[in-house]
Structure 1
Amino acid sequence: MTDSSGTLDEALERLHTTGPERNGWLTNHAPMAVEALVRHGRAEAVHRWLDHYAPKLEEAPPAVRPVTAETWREALGDPARITDWTRFLARELDERPWREVLAEWWPRLLPGIAGGATHPVIRTGHAVRTLLTSPGTAPRRAELAHALGYWAARHRPLPPIAPLAAAPSAAAALDAVPRVPEQEGGIRPRLAQLTAFPRWGAAPDPDTARALLAELVAAATHRYATHGHGEPVMLVHAATAPNAVLRTLPALPRELWAPSLAAAWAAAAAVTAAYAPAEAAPYRATSLSTEEVFERAAAHGDDHTIKFTDTALDVGGPLALAAAVRSVELNPPVF
């Protein structure tokens, strides 16, 4: 990504005065959406988009007491400690290389990948992609601290999951995920109903894990075209959460790739179980180009649509583009 305008850094500095949530639990999607806009050549639209989004945002919550290397376990999963976590990880990133900090905290946070409705890991994936592909400026390192701090504060493991019959592919595995019995309410009561997932994604080596993770991202993206109508906002996360993990793999030690695949599958399966409709629906193919599809998503303005389209462009191909157009159709426009 080339951003000679400095727009991304300006946007991140603007956003780092706000908290990662609003109205008690709704996620601040702005850091992820603006990164995607800049990534796809729409830097000139960022501040207008932020001006429209900013009234939704709230100040960061007050600090409670410092998180330290000795006391972090007691603060894990405590949303009241969001600012404590962000400050702690910002200090860590000031003192050590960001890859080293990420490699230390990634395996600690993976068991809670579904916490915060998977938004913290998605924010982490956007932050890592930026650091991997552009200069590691202070606002971009700070964004990683905000992302990891949010994840630590919202860390919430899934309930115990029993194995079902093995599936031959990621697409078949998603199709075989049992829907939770009570398809009402927010994500937390839905995830509490999870009991079993199909077995899929055994990876004997890191390269196989990476290939299977890419397969999962593609399958979840494609499935949105036919199943996104079940819950158009929430079902984007079945694709964007594993894609955040895929984006992060190049920054991680290879021995973490297989456990990262397992966590990504759990996240995608959990969202699918919580929100998938009982029946598929038809979708239309699109003749739009990659650039035209993202332009349509940017003009639409919805944060989830922008992020899902960003993932669909990573996947590529006609069905992924059709799924992105489907997200534009299903989600309410902002502009």
Structure 2
Amino acid sequence: MGDPKRAGDWLAHFDRELRDRPWREVLGEWWPRLLPGIAAGATHGVIRVGHAVRVLRTDGENPQRLAELGQALGYWAARWQPVPGAGPLTGRSDVPTALAAVPRIPTQTGGIRDRLGRLPDVPDWPAAVAALRPPGDPAGAERTLTELVHRAGLDYLRFGHGNPVMLVHAVTAPTAVLRTLPALDPALWAPSVAAAWSATAAVTSVYAPPTPAPAPAVTVGGPAEVFARAARHGDAHVVKLADAVLEAHAATGDARVLAAAGYAGQLI
């Protein structure tokens, strides 16, 4: 895992796996192996898996959707990359407190691999990546992830100007994990929360500026209009963020989070 030169081998492997075995069985076997490398491809590995699983769960199986899942798993395996210092959650903080305490790397330059490589040198990082309170049961895991997506969406309105594209992933990575939970054994839900938190915290640390911007002026319509505007905009990250914040709005009822999609459209 983590060798991009083996991408073709991984794609062939998962193509065979998904032709020979039920997709939930394949996912259940490989999810805990892939999860520690959640930073893969700037979190696009888990994001692609989340999209594929959501459609398989809602629309049913067909060869194209199974192929999409296989390609997503293969991409994740080939790009597998851990978040430095990530592990089980041992903290007592709720999501807003933990997010507010995420330190920033001092030099925010270079690609994501370079930036993640600087995290071990940040004195407060080990405590920050473990600071979130672990969920006590599967229902708690779902609530924590829902709150993480919600708060990360609100944080985009404060810090998105720092790197409008990359900070989208602080929202879409935990969204992908949340969408995958129903297809997993509940025993995997708590480690899934820990990995999703590490991804959001890491992206925040290496791309978000230390100082928030003033509240942006964004016209917010209803959910349908928010997504229609994102679709007209056409940028993939604007569309993905709109997709994520619509779910956050549906889960929390907080209309403020919808503005994140419009703000991304202004910035990108």
Q: Is the structural similarity TM-score above 0.5?
A: yes
The equivalent position to 2:222 in structure 1, one of 284, 289, 300, is 289
**Larger relative CO (CA 8 A, sep 6+): 1 or 2?**
2
5+ long unaligned stretches in structure 2: none
1:225 aligns with 2:157: yes
Within-5 A mapping of 1:26-175: 76-160=1-85, 166=91, 168-175=93-100
Deviation at residue 286 of structure 1 after TM alignment: 3.4
Cα distance in structure 1, aligned partners of 2:26 and 2:165: 32
Count of aligned pairs:
256
The structure 2 residue matched to 1:265, chosen from 156, 179, 197, is 197
Q: Provide the aligned C-alpha RMSD in A.
A: 1.7
Output one character per residue of 1:67-103: Cα deviation in whole Å (capped at 9) or x when no partner: xxxxxxxxx1110111110110111111111000000
The 1:226/1:176 distance shift into structure 2, 3 A limit, reads same
Q: For 1:163 and 1:98, how far apart are their aligned partners in 2?
A: 27
Distance 2:80 2:87 in 1: 21
Write the letter of the residue equivalent to 1:93: L
Q: Which amino acid aligns with 2:191?
A: P
1:10-62 per-residue CA deviation (whole Å, 9 max, x = no partner) reads xxxxxxxxxxxxxxxxxxxxxxxxxxxxxxxxxxxxxxxxxxxxxxxxxxxxx
Give yes or no for contact 1:115–1:156 (8 Å, CA) kept in 2: yes
Decide whether the 8 Å contact of 2:86 with 2:195 is kept in 1: no
Please, which moves more after superposition, 207-216 or 285-294? 285-294
Task: Letter of the 2:196 partner, please give it.
Answer: A
Shift of the alpha carbon at 1:260? 0.2
2:266 maps to a residue whose letter is E
Partner in structure 2 of residue 38 of structure 1: none
2:49 partner SS = helix
SS in 2 for 1:180: coil
User: Which of the two has greater helix per residue?
Assistant: 2
CA separation of 1:180 and 1:115: change in aligned 2, threshold 3 A? same
Q: Deviations over 1:186-237 (max 9, x none)?
A: 1111001113242103112111111111111111111101111110000000
Q: Whole-Å Cα distance in 2 between the matches of residues 138 and 159 of structure 1?
A: 37
Percentage identity across paired residues of the two chains: 55
Structure 1 counterpart of 2:132, from 197, 200, 204: 200
Q: Is there any run of 5+ residues in structure 1 with no aligned partner, and where?
A: 1-75
**Larger gyration radius, structure 1 or structure 2:** 1
Distance in 2 of aligned mates of 1:300 and 1:289:
17
Give the conservation status (yes or no) of the 8 Å contact 1:201–1:261.
no
Hey, which bits of structure 1, 4+ residues long, moved more than 6 A? 162-165
How has the CA–CA distance of structure 1 residues 328 and 248 changed in structure 2, closer, same or farther, with 3 Å as cutoff?
A: same
- Cross-structure match for 1:322: 259
| Deviation by residue 1:150-192 (Cα, 9 ceiling, x = unmatched) | 0000001122359999463212211211101211111111001
